[in-house]
């Protein structure tokens, strides 16, 4: 058995307050491209992330974002949580995992069954009208996306629809992240903290591991921008393949 697998399994068994920070890399095997990996959006430029996720650009022209959003939500219907999502969910149910901080907007942690998820960059689960703040559900947003280029606040005139552009509650560049205090607190309390599938370059999420006083395990195929003396294990492998071996060692059936 590979040493890093045994070490990781042992760390999990010894720890009482486990937490994780995840990024786009945990969802690539589900079929969602990441940002800075070899097939990432910054490499393929399929969408221009600097335009698509910039809040001032969105106010000026929401079209590029909605082109991305339409594809993303269609993709989301077809995909499933990865092994690593399920592993973290199992670790919450049967082990000592107390929460997951994620930068992802794909809600795959919740779909895998995780209960305590801090979505620093928000999600598509709710949207709001930029003008009147009326709330729209995920289903309403999807229906609108199927019919309108740019979803707007417009139902029968009697309900006072204002025609404002809708914006999902995801965090754009230029906006404040969500759950910052809870995420910092979770990291500070943890005795074992996983950094999984993130390049750790987008702040403030990238700062969360700095609050960890316990041990840190990094699982990411490419180098991560993390300078912390308490990193005890760095695994430069495929995330699912690694956690499948750890699960086997722990006797988990996922
Ligand atoms: P990145 O794309 O920056 O980093 C993902 C990391 O996961 C890369 O280093 C990949 O090498 C690694 N990776 C991908 N698939 C993997 C696999 N199967 N096994 C092992 N490693 C793998 O994504 P994030 O760090 O999540 O923000 O990006 C942070 C933020 O930048 C995003 O939340 C988004 C983006 O701009 C906003 O839009 C606000
Ligand atoms: Zn409105």
Over residues 10-23, the pLDDT tens digits come to: 999 999 999 999 99
Of 59 and 228, the one with more pLDDT: 59
- What pLDDT is attached to residue 8? 98
Question: Into which CATH architecture does domain 1-32+81-121+177-254 fall?
Answer: 3-Layer(aba) Sandwich (3.40)
Q: How far is the CA of 224 from the centre of ligand 2 (A)?
A: 42
Q: Whose CA is nearest to atom 17 of ligand 1?
A: 238
Give the Cα separation of 225 and 69 in Å (integer).
Answer: 28
Ranges in the chain annotated CATH 3.40.50.1220:
1-32+81-121+177-254
Q: Helices then strands (H, E): number in the chain? A: 10, 9
Ranges in the chain annotated CATH 3.30.1600.10:
33-78+122-170
Phi/psi for 17 (5° steps) reads: -140, 85
Q: How far is the CA of 36 from the centre of ligand 1 (A)?
A: 6
Q: How confident is the model at residue 125 (pLDDT cuts 50, 70, 90)?
A: very high
| Mean pLDDT in residue range 192-214 | 97
| Mean pLDDT in residue range 216-234 | 96
Q: Tell me if 197 CB under 6 Å of ligand 1.
A: yes
Give the number of other Cβ atoms within 10 Å of residue 223's Cβ.
11
In the CATH hierarchy, which fold is given to the domain comprising 33-78+122-170? SIR2/SIRT2 'Small Domain' (3.30.1600)
Q: Tell me if 90 CB under 6 Å of ligand 1.
A: no
pTM above 0.85, yes or no: yes
Give the Cα separation of 175 and 120 in Å (integer).
Answer: 11
Please report the beta strands in 1-149, taking only residues with DSSP state E, as ranges in sequence order: 18-22, 97-102, 117-119, 122-129, 135-137
- What pLDDT is attached to residue 50? 83
Residues whose CB falls within 8 Å of the CB of residue 116, separated by 6 or more in sequence, listed in order? 92, 98, 99, 100
Q: How far is the CA of 184 from the centre of ligand 2 (A)?
A: 34
Q: Tell me if 208 CB under 6 Å of ligand 1.
A: no
Q: Tell me if 35 CB under 6 Å of ligand 1.
A: yes
Does 193 have pLDDT greater than 60?
yes
Q: Tell me if 114 CB under 6 Å of ligand 1.
A: no
Q: How confident is the model at residue 106 (pLDDT cuts 50, 70, 90)?
A: very high
Give the Cα separation of 126 and 107 in Å (integer).
Answer: 12
pLDDT tens per residue, range 83-95 = 999 999 999 998 8
Active site residues: 121
pLDDT tens per residue, range 47-58 = 888 889 999 999
* % pLDDT > 90, the chain: 83
Does 159 have pLDDT greater than 70?
no
Q: How far is the CA of 140 from the centre of ligand 2 (A)?
A: 14
Q: Among residues 51, 4, 78, 35, which one has the least CA distance to residue 202?
A: 35
Ligand 1 probe mutation, 24, 48, 234, most atoms within 8 A of CB: 24
């Amino acid at each position: 058995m590979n040493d890093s697998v045994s070490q990781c399994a042992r760390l999990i068994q010894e720890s009482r307050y486990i937490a994780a920070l995840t990024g786009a890399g945990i969802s690539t095997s589900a079929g969602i491209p990441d940002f800075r990996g070899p097939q990432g959006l910054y490499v393929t430029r399929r969408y221009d992330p600097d335009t698509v996720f910039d809040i001032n650009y969105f106010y000026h022209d929401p079209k590029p974002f909605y082109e991305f959003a339409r594809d993303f939500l269609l993709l989301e219907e077809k995909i499933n949580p990865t092994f690593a999502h399920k592993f973290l969910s199992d670790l919450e149910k049967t082990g000592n995992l107390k929460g997951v901080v994620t930068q992802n907007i794909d809600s795959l942690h919740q779909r895998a069954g995780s209960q305590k998820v801090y979505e620093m960059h928000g999600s598509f689960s709710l949207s709001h009208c930029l003008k009147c703040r009326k709330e729209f559900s995920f289903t309403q947003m999807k229906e609108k996306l199927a019919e309108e280029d740019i979803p707007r606040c417009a139902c029968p005139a009697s309900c006072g629809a204002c025609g404002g552009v809708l914006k999902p509650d995801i965090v754009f560049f230029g906006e404040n992240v969500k759950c910052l205090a809870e995420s910092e607190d979770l990291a500070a309390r943890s005795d074992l903290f996983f950094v999984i599938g993130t390049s750790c370059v987008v702040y403030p999420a990238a700062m969360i591991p700095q609050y960890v006083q316990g041990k840190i395990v990094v699982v990411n195929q490419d180098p991560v921008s993390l300078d912390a003396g308490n990193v005890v294990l760095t695994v430069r492998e495929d995330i699912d393949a690694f956690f499948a071996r750890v699960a086997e060692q722990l006797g988990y059936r996922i």
